[in-house]
Chains A and B, each alone.
Chain A
Amino acid sequence: GAGVSQSPSNKVTEKGKDVELRCDPISGHTALYWYRQRLGQGLEFLIYFQGNSAPDKSGLPSDRFSAERTGESVSTLTIQRTQQEDSAVYLCASSEWTGRNQPQHFGDGTRLSIL
């Protein structure tokens, strides 16, 4: 597609359940990022992937969070044993590479609500 695609657009689940969020980056973009935005907050970095290099996981808030990426394609963010504080909009972005002057192109996000 033309832009970054995320699915689902909305997800409501019960506390304690596991969730998987999907991101399809722009074709040819080697760098992929996950952020989250909690209510009233800015975007919070979670993890990024660059090509075949080891991902930078420094922003993951706990070991309940993990992410995978298949080559330079789809990425999945998994949250295990969800908690109410995980409620947020989860945003994926991609760029041609991780150079700082490469603008990141964002998807529309997945709004996650934990009951």
Chain B
Amino acid sequence: DQQVKQNSPSLSVQEGRISILNCDYTNSMFDYFLWYKKYPAEGPTFLISISSIKDKNEDGRFTVFLNKSAKHLSLHIVPSQPGDSAVYFCAATPRTPLVFGKGTRLSVIA
């Protein structure tokens, strides 16, 4: 049973526009959420996180929104750049270890 779901396996966005990546979770014990970015043949790299006591966290072009009642979070990238093309994983935890979604492949088209 998947506790963290990324229902869109892929997403294409024009350079300069907004990319929105979505993630849903089922376990109400999850209270800390992270996004990781992965390029081919490399390990995932940490991007941004959010605690359940917040509903928004922003870091430069990246913003994560959390809707606890809907058990939904999203990652917004504005403006999108070609270098953002990668697979993005949503992860959640009540404690170590992390539970990951299957990832969304983002393609930013120049």
Contact = CB atoms under 8 A, between A and B. Distances in A.
Interface of A: 4, 31, 33, 35, 40-45, 48, 50, 56, 59, 91, 93, 98-101, 103-109
Nearest to B95: A100
B21 interface: no
A98 B96 contact: yes
A42 B4 contact: yes
B101 A106 contact: no
B51 interface: yes
Nearest to B46: A103
Contacts of A44: 100
B87 to A, nearest CB: 10
Interface of B: 4, 6, 32, 34, 36, 41-46, 49, 51, 89, 91, 93-103
B43 A106 contact: yes
A79 B102 CA distance: 24
A108 B42 contact: yes
7 nearest CB pairs, A to B: A106-B43, A103-B46, A43-B100, A42-B100, A42-B102, A98-B96, A45-B97
A101 B54 CA distance: 14
A59 B98 CA distance: 11
B46 A104 contact: yes
